Amino acid sequence: MAGANCSLSLFKFKETSSSLHSSSLTLRFPTPRKTLNSTHKTKTIRSKKHDFRRNSSNAGKNRDEIEAVVTQKRLKDDKEKSRSQASGFKSFGTQRKEKKGFLYDLKDSQADSGNLQDATFLNAVVKVYCTHTAPDYSLPWQKQRQFTSTGSAFMIGDGKLLTNAHCVEHNTQVKVKRRGDDTKFVAKVLARGVECDIALLSVENEEFWKGAEPLRFGRLPCLQDSVTVVGYPLGGDTISVTKGVVSRIEVTSYAHGASDLLGIQIDAAVNPGNSGGPAFNDHGECIGVAFQVLRSDDAENIGYVIPTTVVSHFLNDYEKNGSYTGFPSLGVLLQKLENPALRECLKVQSNEGVLVRRIEPTSDAHNVLKEGDVIVSFDGINVGSEGTVPFRSTERIAFRYLISEK
């Protein structure tokens, strides 16, 4: 049932201490004898002053020693203060110090065996370097100036890599580089699925595949499942790991191919360069391919992943036919039957069916459907008046999902 797909775009805070000084009081006594204590005290003070002046030759040394002790104490206090401030950086469990605006670890962090960054399957994620030459559609005999871009890809076995179709669109040269390596290897594009935004690459150089382990595909995740996106986005040259959860699973508009296929919405950061990189679950299984993000002033952290069901459809199509042939489509325009008056007019029971408004000229549905028909079930699955069908447990999904799975 191949046909034309619907063109949809991605909508994209003084205390006055009255301390009595001896100089402020004048005491008078009738006889000098009674001033003995006071005079003795004064003499004692004077003798101390006299002794201090007498030993003035050693005063310089004492003063230097005192100043040295004070300076040492200040340095020690400043050091302890800086340590207490540095202890605020505890994201990696080690102390850090500042140097030219950067933070350095004072200790070598010990990698945890369960740490995703040290997992061996991350070595299957590679960086893609592509040179593009886009055509000039107004002047087809001319070509626009070349430009380069980078993306991500990952190994799936049998000498093949998987990435996004838009990463290698209009390519003139494609190269890939493994994690921790400085050698780029030439890659060949075997197939491109514009609808599903998936491309299949191969590398003939055997040096590239030494010690390589392909990724394992996992099942379709559930809502709130943890997801980790791995790739080579902007902001650096090395591999990047971001984490989040599955926010939504539904039929999504694919911006590159203007088609509607099953998609996984996640809140993990997806940036330019992440395209083509895998998304993992907690078991290290690949649950999809990162491919697009919704950028809007009213939206945050909305990224999308191509699920393994779409990926497997693409791979099975290539293995069966030797090339990519596409996803099926009814090629019809459908209308929801939520209006009670419309349902009554069509004599349709409540919450049942969708109305066929138009059939595309190239659609094979011409032999089965006609305008005004109501589709009430598909493969024995009842279609609701909103155009949805049961998906998993209490979830529902758009009716188009059943067609794309054929």
Catalytic residues: 166, 197, 275
CB 150 within 8 A of CB 183: no
Distance CA 176, CA 153 (A): 8
What is the Cα gyration radius of the chain? Answer: 38
Distance CA 99, CA 234 (A): 24
Closest to 383 (Cα-Cα) out of 368, 373, 394, 398: 398
* Distances from the Cα of 71 to the Cα of 68, 279, 347, 377, angstroms: 5, 56, 95, 87
Beta strands of 59-216 (E only): which ranges? Answer: 96-99, 102-105, 125-132, 147-157, 160-163, 171-177, 184-186, 188-193, 198-202
Which helix H or strand E contains 85, and what residues bound it? helix 56-86
The owner of tokens 């002790």 is 69
Mapped onto helix, strand or coil, the DSSP state of residue 187 is coil
Q: What is the 3-state secondary structure (H, E, C) of 342-355?
A: HHHHHCCCCCCCEE
Distance CA 75, CA 53 (A): 31
Distance CA 164, CA 128 (A): 10
